[in-house]
Amino acid sequence: MTGISGKRILLVIGGGIAAYKTLDLIRRLRERGASVRAVMTPAAKNFVTPLSVASLTGSKVFEDLFSLTDEAEMGHIELSRDADLLVVAPATADLLAKMAHGLADDLASTLLLATDKKILVAPAMNLRMWLAPATLRNVARLREDGVIFVGPDDGEMACGEYGPGRMSEPLTIAAAIATALSGETAIPLPPGLARPQGVLSGRRVVITSGPTHEPIDPVRFIANRSSGKQGHAIARAAAASGADVVLISGPVALPDPANVAAIHVETAREMLKAVEASLPADIFIAAAAVADWRVAEASPEKIKKDGKALPPLALVENPDILATVAKREALRPSLVIGFAAETENLLVHAKEKLLRKGCDMIIANDVGEGSGVMGGENNSVTLLTGGGMESWPNMSKDEVAGRLVTKLASMLDGGRG
Ligand code: C5P
């Protein structure tokens, strides 16, 4: 995690039980060479003490907008700009609402409004609060404004309920901070990048592409033969048609297409996190060949060939990204599209996938031996929707992408299937 060393993080701690995890986040960031200045909301002090935060950051904690001493030492505007990144953890429903509306009635909200730096938020709240229409509106607005989200995760909550709302784990937040500092985030395209007018103007499209790598140990991994060519071609075609495109790619040998926000991930779990952090979107296209399994416990050290028994590789199932997005209650994209790469009984399996994964379209392609699809330039696809199916002749992956974009635009405009 090289991106963090030497960086200055301004950490806003909101008032929620997850604030105890923020103490560990501070340690993780400092271990990685970052300096951390912390601001606490009045509510945050009910959960962790300024003394703990100051001890861990190794510097003074800022709390009060109207503190004469603080303002004399460092004015709040300077505080908000003298950082490489602002991080809000935990980001409560209240803080998100203030940010979405530009309120500035205490030090934390004022800093967040006054900054000229990127802001990353790690929400944490009760699941009903996270799924409340007001919070969903605020989150959508903040994403449009370029605020980067990490989490929340699903899980058991302090209030005894189960669902989305848990703050991401400190290591995950630290990884998201490293990504944000390296510029690879699902922020909207920077102003000035070409966004041509086309059938997808004003639409946001999130696309996964390439394989995933699932580590066995620090040098070995499980992977597959996906080249990412079809997914990247779709990202290019969607951007050329005016869409705001987020391309979430596993390890591939392809350059990032122009005019898309590219996020690079390795594992299925990282890919799912990046996809969820990129919502809301109008269209989600799962073109990645996600590994179905990962090694249950990757070894932290290189596994040695010591002449004894072969090392067992216990596998566990990866999350199904397509099904997870298709079955979301909140922020489900209007169109969720998957691929079915099969070597036999193509259409039977594709139809079964359409139903099982709950998506709006499955694009079936034959990747059997001799088809040349995996890694090749051409593809023959059959599109299946709830309403029927259509087969396209063999054509280049770029042509498939172009036709697909036109098709999806017309489906969004009302002509489904
Ligand atoms: O691997 P499978 O044949 O089920 O892939 C079908 C579709 O599901 C593809 O669109 C692929 O991107 C998606 N998928 C996913 N997450 C997984 C497995 C597959 O998004 N873990």
Q: Residue 308 maps to which CATH number?
A: 3.40.50.10300
**Could you tell me if 342 and 394 lie in one domain?**
yes
pTM, full prediction: 0.58
User: Quick check: CB of 275 below 6 Å from ligand 1?
Assistant: no
**Could you tell me if 173 and 235 lie in one domain?**
no
Q: What is the pLDDT of residues 89-147, one digit of tens each?
A: 999 999 999 999 999 999 999 999 999 899 999 999 988 898 888 988 898 889 878 89
Q: What is the pLDDT of residues 39-68, one digit of tens each?
A: 999 999 999 999 999 999 999 999 887 776
pLDDT at 20: 96
Residue 163 covered by a domain = yes
**Could you tell me if 49 and 177 lie in one domain?**
yes
Q: What is the pLDDT of residues 306-365, one digit of tens each?
A: 777 788 889 999 999 999 999 998 889 999 999 998 777 888 999 999 999 999 999 998
Residue 106 covered by a domain = yes
pLDDT at 68: 66
Q: Cα–Cα–Cα angle for 324, 223, 317, nearest 5°?
A: 40
Q: Whose CA is nearest to atom 2 of ligand 1?
A: 340
Ligand 1 mean position, distance from CA 247 (Å):
16
Contact 249, 209 (CB under 8 A): yes
pLDDT at 416: 54
Query: Ligand 1, residues 321, 361, 382: which to mutate, most atoms within 8 A of Cβ?
Result: 321
Query: For the domain that residue 94 is a member of, what is the CATH number?
Result: 3.40.50.1950
Query: Ligand 1, residues 212, 320, 344, 354: which to mutate, most atoms within 8 A of Cβ?
Result: 320
Closest atom, ligand 1, to C-alpha of 341: 3
Closest C-alpha among 311, 324, 310, 233 to residue 271: 324
Ligand 1 mean position, distance from CA 60 (Å):
48
pLDDT at 370: 66
Closest atom, ligand 1, to C-alpha of 287: 12
Kindly state the tokens that stand for 400.
């498939």
Catalytic annotation, residues: 159
**Could you tell me if 245 and 136 lie in one domain?**
no
pLDDT at 372: 65
**Could you tell me if 138 and 274 lie in one domain?**
no
Domain count, the chain: 2
User: Quick check: CB of 290 below 6 Å from ligand 1?
Assistant: yes
CA of residue 277 relative to chain centroid, distance: 3
Closest atom, ligand 1, to C-alpha of 285: 10
Highest average pLDDT, of 165-174, 283-292, 379-388, comes from 283-292
Residue 391 covered by a domain = yes
Q: 191: which residues sit within 8 A by CB, 6+ positions away?
A: none
Domain span including residue 98: 2-181
- Report residue 72's pLDDT band, with 50, 70 and 90 as the boundaries: low
Ligand 1 mean position, distance from CA 270 (Å):
15
Domain stop point among 150, 181, 212: 181
